[in-house]
């Protein structure tokens, strides 16, 4: 793969965080300014591989995420490219003001890389879930937000985030998710990927929900419905062009995210649609509740983070479109 | 620039207080109390201690300074102007729309400002990150960070205090402007800090206690750093809130304000005697 020492074998059939760990080593080899910051989770975020290879470039702050994020700002002012790692709920909420005031406001070149996002810490329960982080981060000017959909995209996103000048929030889950991209896939910040062409309805998804969206499109196809699937890997800056095109060309939109429907991808898309090309937008996601505790599969079903939810949302969106057109 | 001695620094600090009074008056108000308690320390740092060059404000191997108690900008900004980072006339724009400066400093707008600050408890951990980065690059640069006394109520200060000692950041120097007042009242009634020296010592820091309005003591403290080898240093500076303006000295109500004409005349007369 261009620009990385990782092979496809390193990437396929691995958990997101394992792949993330290997991607950190790869970028560390290539970019000497990169330093890794952790808060007593360097093992579970898989920064340990980097730490082993570059001990002098790894800093563990103990269980002190606010200090870690503020220190990252200090590193950045001295020309380093700090990658601050932690569980998503801690990076976005415990260290929230440091992210906004110390990094986004002065526009410093810090990479916030969050693992265990969404409900991927399923049995950890609400304290360890992060279904609010996109909403919080979206409201910070200067910040780029990336939610990769599979292992390959995670590797590419780590590289591109480091190459990008300015603060980035990279949001990852924890476990294995299906691969949805082929190896020649090109990742560009702010340019969404059309995973599947279609003219009846558009499903705009991010992260783990991209695979669900593709499965939903398969089901819809069997019913004669031609669904477009867009991987909106960059939540900010949002690919407005692709959103407007989806609204104009298909007239009905479903969004899907492993996040509260309040403040997430769905609202970002709805904002663009309502300003530029009004069309029904149905949001699939966590419906403004805390998610409870349970095995990940069960929680996903209970919360409706499934292809079935996307299928029924697509039909609703289409019926809204047709009732409007009547 | 030639380093100023203690006597010259005292004269400079009086001049800077007069500039600040004028600036605050034009702005309609300012954080005069905490700015004036810290003015002597800031003057000593910028005219004697810091290795900096206003002609090359981003010089890689310069010393860094973070005004963690960002509201003391009413002292900091005149100091930077007087040191030559920008024209003194610009001070007249303080708090105005499109001015490079206001109540709290913005690093992207003020030449010579190493970090944007204003929210308390942020400066020390940022400074720790700087100190780590500078050490990685084998630079001898030091990082100074000025905190208010009430600021160290914030838990992040103590996260960073623990971290800086663990990382052995002897290139990090924290200063606590201990003027004994917070916004709501005397600090001992709001949330006392004592025993303050023991707190820092127990966190692994070298501790120095001085009269922070005495130029000799300030210079002496900064002349032998670090206080302890391999450890960060904290200078606990006992100061007087509103120092230099007799009618407001030690009064917590003067966290923010604008002097009356009479107070101003009295302050100017007092400060002139110190010049």
pLDDT for residue A143 is more than 70: yes
What architecture is the B6-273 domain classified under in CATH? 3-Layer(aba) Sandwich (3.40)
Q: What is the DSSP letter of B152?
A: G
CA distance B82 to chain A (A): 24
How large is the average pLDDT for residues B2-20? 97
Pick from B60, B125, B127 the residue to mutate for testing the A interface (most A CBs within 10 Å): B125
The pLDDT assigned to B12 comes to 98
pLDDT for residue B58 is more than 90: yes
| Structure tokens given for B259 | 């002097």
Per-residue model confidence as pLDDT tens digits over A78-90: 999 999 999 999 9
Parallel/antiparallel/unpaired status of strands A81-87 and A111-115: parallel
Per-residue model confidence as pLDDT tens digits over A186-228: 999 999 999 999 999 999 999 999 999 999 999 999 999 999 9
CA distance B176 to chain A (A): 19
pLDDT for residue A231 is more than 80: yes
The pLDDT assigned to A123 comes to 93
What proportion of chain B, given as a percentage, has pLDDT over 70?
A: 100
Q: Cβ B106–A106 below 8 Å, yes or no? A: yes
Give DSSP secondary structure letters for B9-72. HHHHHHHHHHHHHHHHHHHT-B-HHHHHHHHHHHHHIIIII----TTSTT-TTS-EEEESSGGG
* B219-230: burial string, b at 16+ Cβ within 10 Å, e else: bebbeebbbeee
Set of chain A residues whose Cβ sits within 8 Å of the Cβ of B60? 79
Closest by CA position to B175, among listed B229, B238, B256, B240: B238
- Cβ-based neighbours of A317, under 8 Å, separated by 6 or more: A201, A252, A253, A254, A280, A281, A282
Contact B86, B111 (CB under 8 A): yes
Q: Listing from the earlier edge strand, what are the strands of the sheet with A193-196? A: A193-196, A227-231, A201-205, A253-260, A281-286
Set of chain A residues whose Cβ sits within 8 Å of the Cβ of B115? 73-74, 77, 102, 106
- Cβ under 8 Å to A: B residues 80-139: 106-108, 114-116, 118-119, 122, 125-134, 136-137
CA distance A70 to chain B (A): 5
How large is the average pLDDT for residues B145-170? 98
Positive or negative torsion for Cα A248, A249, A254, A259: negative
Q: Cβ B116–A105 below 8 Å, yes or no? A: yes
Any chain A CB within 8 A of the CB of B160? yes
Which chain A residue has the Cα nearest residue B105? A106
Look-up of token digits 């990658």: A83
CA B216 to each of CA A276, B44, B273: distance values in angstroms, whole numbers, following the listed order = 66, 10, 19
Per-residue model confidence as pLDDT tens digits over B162-174: 999 999 999 999 9
Q: What are phi and psi of A169, to 5 degrees?
A: -115, 115
CA dist., res. B107 & res. A24, Å (int)? 30
Look-up of token digits 């330093």: A35
CA dist., res. A291 & res. A229, Å (int)? 26
Q: Cβ A78–B137 below 8 Å, yes or no? A: yes
Closest by CA position to B259, among listed B242, B234, B271: B242
pLDDT for residue B253 is more than 80: yes
CA dist., res. B116 & res. A208, Å (int)? 37
CA dist., res. A97 & res. A73, Å (int)? 12
Of A67, A74, A105, the CB nearest to B130: A74
Secondary structure tally for chain A: helices H, strands E: 13, 12
Q: Cβ B60–A106 below 8 Å, yes or no? A: no
| Structure tokens given for A267 | 């609202």
Any chain A CB within 8 A of the CB of B159? yes
For chain A, which domains are there? Answer: 8-171 (3.40.50.970), 193-325 (3.40.50.920)
CA dist., res. B156 & res. A65, Å (int)? 9
| Structure tokens given for A263 | 């403040």
CA dist., res. A73 & res. A198, Å (int)? 44
Region for A125 from its dihedrals, namely left if φ exceeds 0, alpha if ψ lies in -120 to 50, beta otherwise = left
Closest by CA position to B60, among listed B122, B107, B114: B114
CA distance A79 to chain B (A): 8
pLDDT for residue A323 is more than 90: no
Residues of A within an 8 Å Cβ radius of B: 35, 56-57, 59, 61-62, 64, 66-68, 70-80, 82, 97-98, 101-102, 105-107
pLDDT for residue A3 is more than 60: no
Set of chain B residues whose Cβ sits within 8 Å of the Cβ of A77? 64, 107, 114-115, 126, 129-130, 133
Set of chain B residues whose Cβ sits within 8 Å of the Cβ of A82? 129
Closest by CA position to A114, among listed A139, A143, A78: A143
How large is the average pLDDT for residues B18-36? 97
Burial of B98 (0-12, 13-18, 19+ CB in 10 A): exposed
Set of chain A residues whose Cβ sits within 8 Å of the Cβ of B127? 74
CA A62 to each of CA A30, A110, A146: distance values in angstroms, whole numbers, following the listed order = 27, 19, 26
Per-residue model confidence as pLDDT tens digits over B90-114: 999 999 999 999 999 999 999 999 9
How large is the average pLDDT for residues A117-121? 96
pLDDT for residue A324 is more than 80: no
CA distance A189 to chain B (A): 25
Contact A92, A235 (CB under 8 A): no
How large is the average pLDDT for residues B197-202? 98
Confidence of residue A2 (pLDDT cuts 50, 70, 90): very low
The three-state DSSP-derived secondary structure of B89-121 is: HHHHHCCCCCCCCCCCCCCCCCCCCCCCCCCCC
- Cβ-based neighbours of A113, under 8 Å, separated by 6 or more: A20, A45, A83, A84, A85, A158, A161, A170, A172
Per-residue model confidence as pLDDT tens digits over B114-133: 999 999 999 999 999 999 99
pLDDT for residue A1 is more than 60: no
The pLDDT assigned to A5 comes to 62
Of A35, A67, A73, the CB nearest to B160: A67
Which chain B residue has the Cα nearest residue A61? B163
Set of chain A residues whose Cβ sits within 8 Å of the Cβ of B160? 67, 70-71
For chain B, the domains span 6-273
How large is the average pLDDT for residues B121-150? 98
Any chain A CB within 8 A of the CB of B1? no
């Amino acid at each position: 793969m261009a620009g990385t020492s990782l092979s496809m074998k390193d990437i396929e059939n691995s958990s997101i965080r394992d792949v993330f760990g290997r991607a950190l080593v790869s970028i560390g080899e290539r970019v000497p300014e990169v330093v890794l910051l952790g808060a007593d989770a360097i093992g579970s975020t898989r920064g340990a591989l980097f730490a082993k290879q570059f001990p002098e470039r790894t800093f563990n702050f103990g269980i002190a995420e606010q200090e870690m994020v503020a220190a990252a700002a200090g590193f950045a002012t001295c020309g380093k490219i700090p990658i601050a790692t932690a569980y998503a709920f801690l990076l976005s909420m415990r260290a929230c003001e440091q992210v906004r005031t110390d990094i986004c406001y002065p526009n410093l070149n810090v990479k916030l890389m969050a693992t265990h996002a969404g409900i991927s810490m399923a049995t950890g329960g609400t304290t360890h879930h992060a279904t609010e982080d996109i909403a919080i981060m979206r409201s910070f000017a200067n910040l780029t937000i990336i939610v990769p959909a599979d292992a390959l995209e995670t590797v590419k996103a780590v590289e591109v985030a480091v190459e990008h000048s300015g603060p980035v929030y990279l949001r990852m889950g924890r476990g294995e998710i299906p691969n949805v991209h082929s190896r020649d896939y090109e990742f560009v910040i702010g340019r969404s990927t059309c995973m599947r062409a279609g003219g009846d309805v558009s499903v705009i998804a991010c992260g783990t929900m991209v695979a669900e969206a593709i499965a939903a499109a398969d089901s819809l196809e069997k019913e004669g419905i031609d669904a477009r699937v867009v991987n909106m890997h960059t939540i900010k800056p949002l690919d407005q062009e692709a959103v407007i095109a989806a609204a104009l060309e298909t007239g009905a939109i479903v969004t899907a995210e492993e996040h509260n429907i309040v403040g997430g991808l769905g609202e970002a898309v709805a904002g663009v649609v309502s300003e530029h090309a009004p069309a029904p937008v149905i949001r699939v996601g966590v419906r403004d509740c805390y998610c409870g505790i349970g095995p990940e599969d069960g929680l996903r079903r209970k919360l409706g983070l499934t292809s079935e939810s996307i299928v029924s949302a697509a039909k609703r969106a289409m019926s809204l479109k047709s009732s409007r057109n009547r | 620039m030639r380093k100023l001695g203690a006597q010259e620094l005292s004269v400079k600090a009086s001049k800077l207080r007069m500039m600040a009074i004028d600036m605050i008056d034009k702005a309609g108000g300012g954080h005069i109390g905490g700015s004036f308690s810290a003015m002597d320390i800031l003057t000593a740092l910028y005219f004697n201690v810091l290795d900096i060059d206003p002609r090359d404000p981003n010089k890689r191997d310069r010393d860094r300074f973070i005004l963690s108690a960002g509201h003391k900008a009413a002292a900091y900004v005149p100091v930077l102007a007087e040191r030559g980072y920008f024209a003194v006339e610009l001070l007249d724009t303080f708090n105005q729309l499109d001015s490079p400066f206001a109540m709290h400093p913005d690093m992207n707008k003020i030449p010579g400002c190493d970090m944007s600050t204003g929210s308390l408890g942020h400066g020390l951990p940022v400074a720790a990150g700087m100190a780590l980065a500078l050490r990685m690059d084998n630079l001898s640069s030091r990082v100074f960070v000025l905190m208010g006394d009430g600021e160290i109520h914030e838990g992040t200060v103590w996260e960073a205090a623990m971290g800086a000692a663990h990382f052995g950041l002897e290139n990090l120097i924290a200063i606590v402007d201990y003027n004994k007042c917070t916004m709501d009242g005397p600090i001992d009634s709001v949330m006392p800090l004592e025993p303050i020296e023991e707190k820092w010592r127990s966190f692994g820091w070298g501790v120095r206690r001085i009269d922070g309005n005495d130029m000799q003591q300030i210079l002496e403290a900064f002349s032998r750093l670090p206080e302890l080898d391999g450890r960060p240093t904290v200078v606990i500076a006992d100061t007087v809130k509103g120092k230099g303006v007799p009618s407001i000295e030690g009064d917590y109500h003067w966290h923010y304000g604008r002097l009356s004409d009479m107070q101003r005349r009295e302050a100017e007369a007092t400060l002139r005697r110190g010049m």
